[in-house]
Amino acid sequence: MSAPDATPHGTPELPGTTIAEAGRNEHDSTMNDTTKGAFAAFDEQLNLHARERKNAQKRHGDITDHLVSERLAIGTFLQGSFARKTMLKPLKDVDMIIRMHPRLEETLRRPGGPAHAMRLIRAAVADKYPNARFDVDDAPAHALQVTFPDLDFTFDLVPALDADDGEICYIADRENDVWEWSNTRILNRIISARNQATGGRFVHQVRMLKSYKKDHPVLDDTCGLLWEAFAYEAVTVPLEHSRSLADTLAHAAHAVTGPVFDPTGVDDLTAGWTAAQRTSYTAALRDAAHRTAEARRLEEDGQHAAAIEIWHGLIGETFPAAEAQNVAEALRALAAGSITSTGRAVTSPRGQQPARPARSWRTH
């Protein structure tokens, strides 16, 4: 078996992703008066509630234990953004792959097998959780949706048949009555490895990118995995959050003009895009890349309030707001500095435009 399935629950923790580790170790300041401090506060805002995560993990374990004891499954593992720890709050759903017991494979491979697998799982779950409801909000092709009265999020239980190599599985599709090839275990492993290589920062930075796209009208319809793919290509070593986001957005501005493959290199996540969509995404991302480059220059020059103001304007209310500039500070900056894209006067010469005006009178 592969590493993700070393236990019946089959869901290892991604290294370095807890608040006590990557979320706080990167930052010396919890104040918002530096760019690093503002990103630390932003990161805290994006973390799933600890109680929700704990409840989800416990329910995952309890369901697994029950299905294994009933000899319906040999184990489970989580997939999706919750599993990879790139999910934004609030927690809405947990995707759980059910590795069906080999004794059932012959039956499940017959016509009607995917739907039969879901019926078996439904009966077992209903036996343990009599108040559970099924497919209330949706009846996904690949999953049995379970709503529990004591949880504010749903579980999507996905029946799967293991392949011989231990990496690939085949997941049920009850609409088309087929078992579809899936490399989700490979994706989990790849993201875990990249997160470890970046000192546990990668998944935090992906959440920040998802928060940015969620509040951007042009980009909001893009899928979350696309942003993991952008970051996967752009961020390979530990980077400060501001540098990581700036590098990723600059990369994305060029990447959206062509195919963008998921981190496993299998699926082109842009295959269904129109030319008009590519054009609008490119324009939005180029603007974002330009603004983040300015913010990075200002941060390097110690102009943290100006940098924070740019990030706040780009990302939205979730990112801390900068302190307002007083008149005295503005006048000092206007004497020799520059003006940022947000209209703030700074002593750094690397804002969007020079602060010193041209002479408005004529000489003779």
CATH number at 83 reads 3.30.460.90
Whether residue 198 is predicted with pLDDT greater than 60 in this model: the reply is yes
The residues with which 173 forms a beta bridge, in sequence order, are: 178
Residue 5 has pLDDT above 90, yes or no: no
User: Using 50, 70 and 90 to split pLDDT, how confident is the model at 352?
Assistant: low
Nearest to 316 by CA among 207, 208, 212: 212
- pTM here is 0.87
Q: Specify if 269 maps to a domain.
A: no
Residue 125 lies in a domain: yes
Could you tell me the strand order of the sheet in which 345-346 lies? 345-346, 338-339, 353-354
Q: In the structure, what pLDDT confidence band is assigned to residue 353 with cuts at 50, 70 and 90? A: low
Provide mean pLDDT across the span 112-124. Answer: 98
Query: Residue 7 — very low, low, confident or very high, per pLDDT cuts 50/70/90?
Result: very low
Residue 259 included in any domain: no
pLDDT in tens, 252-272: 999 999 999 999 999 999 999
Q: Is residue 182 part of a domain?
A: yes
Q: Does residue 359 form part of some domain?
A: no
Residue 178 sits in which domain range? 48-187
Residue 240 resides in a domain = no
**Is 273 within a domain?**
no
Q: How far apart are CA 80 and CA 86, in angstroms?
A: 9
Look at residue 235 and tell me if it is in a domain.
no
Closest by Cα among 203, 209, 199 to 238: 199
Number of domains in the chain: 1
Average of per-residue pLDDT across 167-192: 97
Q: How far is CA 192 from CA 147, 292, 312, in A?
A: 29, 27, 29
User: What span, in angstroms and rounded, lies between the C-alpha atoms of 82 and 76?
Assistant: 14
The single residue listed with the structure tokens 């699926």 is 267
Residue 363 has pLDDT above 60, yes or no: no
Task: List, for residues 19-45, the tens digit of each pLDDT value.
Answer: 334 443 443 444 468 999 999 999 999
Residue 210 pLDDT class (50, 70, 90 cuts)? very high
